[in-house]
Each structure stands twice: as C-alpha cells, then as structure tokens.
Homo-oligomer: A and B are copies of this chain.
Amino acid sequence: MPSAALIKEFEAVVGKDNVFTSEADRQSYSYDSAVLEAVVPALVVRPTTTEQLGKVVRLCNENGNPITVRGAGTNLSGGTIPDPREGIVILTNSLNRIIEINEEDLYAVVEPGVVTAKFAAEVAKRGLFYPPDPGSQAVSTLGGNVAENAGGLRGLKYGVTKDYVMGIEFFDVNGGLVKTGSRTVKCVTGYNLAGLMVASEGTLGVFSNIVLKLVPPPQASKAMMAVFDDVNKASEAVAGIIAAHVVPCTLEFMDQATIRYVDDFTKAGLPRDAQAILLIEVDGHAGQVAEDAEKVEKVLNKVGATEIKVAKDAAEKFKLWEARRNALPALARAKPTTVLEDATVPRSKIPAMVKAINDIAAKYNISIGTFGHAGDGNLHPTILCDRRDKHEFERVEHAVDEIFDVALSLHGTLSGEHGIGMAKSKWMEKETSKATIEFSRNMKRAIDPKYILNPGKIIGA
C-alpha cells in the first residue's frame, strides 16, 4: 500500500472519489480474461481528464510505482494484470469522450476509455463505418483495442485496429505529451510512433487521445453457411474463394466439437455430424455482392459442401450468425476453465493446423473446440478443462506448447490478436530471435528507465 502522503498526492490530482484503496475495490482490478493468477494492485486511480492522466503517470514514475492502464479488462493474455510491486491500476472509464467525428475528412478523435461498440454506433449514426470488431466490442475500450491491436471477424477484408489508427497523443513516462501521426491519411513527420504504440500493451506510453480512420459503410451484404463432411474440404473452399478473388468481410470456421457444444447450448438444430462449417459474408456494392455470392456458391459446390444455406433477409442472417456468436459462450460453459488460444497461420495452412490441433488433443487426452477467422488464418483452439485438476492442466500446458510449435513451423505466429502479455512472453524468442528480444528490451529501457510501464508484459520482467 502506498504511503498516506502519496495517496493524498493522487487525491489532489484526481479527487478523493477517484482514488480507491479498499481491499474490495482493489480485488476487482486484480485479474483480466486470461487464465492467470490474480494480482491485487496497491491502489486504483481514476483520472477524469487527460490532464489528470498525465499528472498521475508522472507521479507514479517519480515514486517508482508500476502502472497498469485498464479499460474493460477483457484482455486474454494478462496484459491488464497489475504488478505485484506496489502496482497501481489507472482506470480509463472516465476518459470516455468522443472528441470529434469528422464526416468530411473521415476521421474521429477519441479518449482511450470510449467503448468500442458505442463508438461504432455513433459513427454509424453519421452514415460512416468503423470496421474493427473484436469479440469483446460490447464492453472493450478503444484504448485497449489499440494497445492490443485488437482484431475480430472483419480482419481479412477490413484489417485490424492498427489499420485504423491515424494518430496518437500519449504521455511518456515523465508525463510529457508525445504527438504522433495526424488527421491526414498521409503523414511521414517523424518516427511512426503511433505504429509503435499499437500492440505495445501499455509498456511504452499512456494514451491521451487517438485519431481513428473511418470509411463509408458497405451498401449491401449477403451471408451464407456451408456444411462439410471433411475439414480439408472446408479449407479448400477458403482457398477457392480467395483464388476467385472474392474477399469476404467475414469467413468463419467451426469444427465438429464446437458445432456440437453450440448445438447443445442453443438447441439450434446445427448439423452435428458435420466435420466443419463455414460462415461466409460478402459485402459492398449490391452488384458486387450478388456476383461474389454466386462465385462463393460455385466454389462451395465444386469442393463438395454437403449443404449451403443462404440467408434471405436480415432475420435469417442474424440466425445464421447466432451459431458463431455462441461459439465461445457454448465452449466456455462446458468446463470450469476455458483456455482460448489464437495461434495464427497463413490461410492455406488451416487444414494442417486443424489436423495438428486434433492430434494434440488426442495425444494429451484433452478437449479442444476450434473455431475462428478462417479468412485470415486466425484460429481459436479453445481448450476446455479444469484448472484445479493439476494433472490435466499440465497436459493442457504441454498441448499449448505444441500448438505454438506447429503454428510456427507453418510460418504462422503465436498470437493473431490476443496479445503476448504475460501468457506468451516465454515463447517470444522462438518466433522471433534473440536479437529481436534484445532490440525490444533496449528500446523499452530507454523509453521507461524505471520499468514502471506495465512491467512484465511482452518481453518479460
């Protein structure tokens, strides 16, 4: 617990009501959505203006208190777990103003605590579109999305959060305001620090505001489900769609285990005997949508989908996507612990990856349901287990190791969108190199000499 004098200093900056010292309050911010040990922070501080935010950062640095900035705590890799050495959690939920939505120049300026879905809705009201749609968008914050480079279902066609960050103003560890990027589409003034901040998981600076790119929305869309009696056929369909030069806005995969868990959960009458289903949506100009949908159906028939369901209207489309929306909730309720991974491979390697995941599940006698974003090779092998069962959890850890090894051997990556955080930093060198870790640590040391910006994340302690 920080000294009474230090607490008073924080109170002087943000007001008494925004400094939380009680055990119960601090407990609430001790964990995130990763399967990792909770760490209770020494203090929780909630700035209500960005000016206060800068002062809080400076105060923490002066006193050597590690900072973990927290939006909604939906992080899946432990990025929002505080530091055990007098760690302070800074909440962004009062920094939730949409400062500007510029319809002429297609950008918005936001504070870091704005909730993703709320922002997307405000943008939509003005006839525009903010595409990034991480699974947690209903509660996640834009600051968190940027810090993690959040992905989502639309990655293949629309890219990820990184592709929408035009500029960032952030506080350096001394509370100085660093300005990077611009309100213009093109900007090469200085280092691309906005690019560096994306996915830096709070370890290099604290966001004050973010400039996000907006685009015109698609005019039309069409969704369909395809059922396969063979995982390879599903994957051939994905390759065939890309080869036909169709870029669907979403192209989702579910394996048999996931289909069955979802069907148990929803009683939706899903094809339980299918080895895989694909959920496909194309969007854009109405003429293009019709043509793309036709091309997709042709590919699906050619590779031998056993069934193709095309949604005829918005209600049918909603129903079609229900299976996908329920994938994670259905899997999560099957067992006490859900280990949601996001090893990612070039899309042509999906059959090899799915086969390897199933082999690994059999080898370690554990349950894995796999679903995910087939279009961009971003799979979510989801391990269903009980963490209290030590023997089982050891097998789970071995399985995760092997999943990463396979992903890397297929030219893939440890993490497509969930971040490295604390959960995966030990594997970092395997994917990159010793020089990469040293380069990163050197840079971090220079930017944060006291190592107080979310320590222990990405490159370890």
Which A residues lie at the B interface, using CB under 8 A? 102-107, 127, 148-149, 151, 155-156, 159-160, 162-163, 172, 174, 176-180, 182-193, 195-196, 198-200, 204-205, 215-217, 239, 242-243, 245-247, 284-288, 291, 344-348, 373, 376-378, 411-420, 424, 428, 431-436, 438-440, 442-443, 445-447, 458-459
Across the two chains, which residue of chain B brings its CB closest to A421? B188
Q: How far is the CA of A415 from the CA of B181 in the complex (A)?
A: 11
Q: Is the CB of A443 within 8 A of B440?
A: no
Nearest B residue to A288, CB-CB: B285
Contact B199 A188 (CB under 8 A): yes
| Residues on B with beta carbons closer than 8 Å to the beta carbon of A195 | 162, 192, 195-196, 198
**Contact assessment for B417 and A378 in the assembled complex, using a CB-CB cutoff below 8 Å:** no
Q: Which chain B residue lies CB-closest to A446?
A: B446
A sample of 7 inter-chain contacts (CB < 8 A) reads A104-B242, A162-B192, A178-B433, A187-B413, A188-B413, A216-B245, A439-B447
- On chain B, the residues within 8 Å of A187 by CB distance are 344, 413, 415-416
B446–A442 contact, CB under 8 A?
yes
- A61 CB → nearest B CB, Å: 13
B432 touches A149 (CB 8 A): no
Find out whether the CB atom of A184 lies under 8 angstroms from the CB atom of B432: no
For A459, the chain B residues whose CB sits under 8 A away are: 190
B199 with A192: CB separation less than 8 A: yes
CB pair B291–A185 under 8 Å, yes or no, is no
Cβ B189 vs Cβ A420 within 8 A = yes
| Chain B, Cβ-Cβ closest to A163 | B163
A-B interface, 10 closest residue pairs, ranked by CB to CB distance from nearest: A287-B287, A195-B195, A176-B435, A446-B446, A186-B416, A285-B288, A216-B245, A105-B346, A185-B376, A104-B348
Q: In the bound complex, do residue B105 and residue A347 qualify as a contact, i.e. CB atoms below 8 Å apart?
A: yes
How long is the Cα–Cα vector from A103 to B244 in the complex, in angstroms? 11
Give the chain B neighbours of A432 by CB distance below 8 A: 178-180, 189-190
Of the residues B243, B246, B445, contact of A446 by C-beta under 8 Å = B445
Contact of A345 among B184, B190, B424 (CB under 8 A): B184
- Which residues of the partner chain B approach A155 to less than 8 Å between Cβ atoms? 185-186
Which residues of chain B have C-beta atoms less than 8 A from A176's C-beta?
433-435, 438-439
Inter-chain contact A191/B186, CB cutoff 8 Å = no
Contact at B348–A247, with CB atoms within 8 Å? no
A400 vs B105: C-alpha distance in the bound complex, in angstroms? 25
Q: Which residues of B contact A205 (CB under 8 A)?
A: 439
- A192 in contact with B447 (CB, 8 Å): no
Asked if A196 and B199 make an inter-chain contact with CB atoms under 8 angstroms apart, the answer reads no
**Are B191 and A458 touching (Cβ within 8 A)?**
yes
Contact assessment for B442 and A447 in the assembled complex, using a CB-CB cutoff below 8 Å: yes
| Minimum distance in angstroms from A435 CB to a CB of chain B | 3
Q: A188-B416, A190-B440 are in contact. List 15 more A-B contacts (CB 8 A).
A: A102-B346, A102-B348, A176-B434, A177-B435, A186-B416, A187-B413, A187-B415, A188-B419, A190-B431, A191-B200, A192-B198, A195-B196, A215-B247, A216-B247, A286-B287
Contact A186 B417 (CB under 8 A): yes
- Chain B residues closer than 8 Å to A242, beta-carbon distance: 104, 106
A193 CA to B445 CA, complexed, in Å = 15
Q: Hey, which chain B residues are within 8 Å of A127, CB to CB?
A: 245
Q: How far is the CA of A106 from the CA of B245 in the complex (A)?
A: 10
* Least CB separation from A128: chain B residue: B245
Tell me if B180 and A436 are in contact (CB < 8 A).
yes
Cα A286 to Cα B217 in complex, Å, equals: 19
User: CB-CB < 8 A to A284: which residues of B?
Assistant: 284-285, 288
- Using Cβ atoms and an 8 Å threshold, which residues of chain B touch A246? 216
Contact of A105 among B179, B287, B348, B419 (CB under 8 A): B348
